[in-house]
Amino acid sequence: MNDVQVRDARASDAAAIAAIYNVHVRGTVVTFEVDEVDATEMAHRIAEVQSRGLPWRVADAGGVVLGYAYAGPWKTRAAYARTVETSIYLDANACGRGLGTRVYADLLAELRTRGVHVAIGGASLPNPASAALHAALGFAPVGVFRAVGFKLGRWIDVGYWQLQLDGPMSKGPG
């Protein structure tokens, strides 16, 4: 994995990102989206995240996108402006080699430089790999929403983890 560069996503990455994502759309409960996303839509999503001043990072090995992580707004109300929800997806062939940890840690470092206070990660359950990744990066489990998504013929729970990226949790801005 030494040949992998983690960098900002570009519009030209949209087709590769969509291909990685659509594997999960089609056959897993990792995302609750049920319709595949084309490159045009993915390029729009990347631009939307970046236009908000938030990072969308890709793991690139010699021009091949192996995975990505990004942060989007947690909620739209102004008081949540410094809280984000994070997402990470890897190509199936890139799993189990530490790439997820690397790209997610890079995303968190980038969020810190942008003044983000809290990162929230969510994952469909059970998902031991995601739980382990969040724990390894310092996230604390904060709760489970039971049976909130219905996909592939069943109800799915979603677990949430939280990581404070700056000073003490009780400290507000200013």
Q: ∠ at Cα 79 (78, 80), nearest 5°?
A: 90
Distance, in Å, from the CA atom of 50 to the CA atom of 120, rounded to the nearest integer, reads 18
The predicted structure's pLDDT at residue 96: 82
Burial (Cβ within 10 Å: 0-12, 13-18, ≥19) of residue 9: buried
Give the CA-trace dihedral at 92, 95, 99, 101, to 10 degrees. Answer: 120
Q: What's the distance, CA 90 to chain centroid?
A: 10
Q: Could you report the per-residue pLDDT of 98-139, keeping only the tens digit for each?
A: 899 999 999 999 999 999 999 999 999 999 999 999 999 999
159: pLDDT strictly greater than 60: yes
| DSSP strand pairing (4-8 vs 56-61) | antiparallel
* pLDDT category of residue 174 using cuts at 50, 70 and 90: very low
57: pLDDT strictly greater than 80: yes
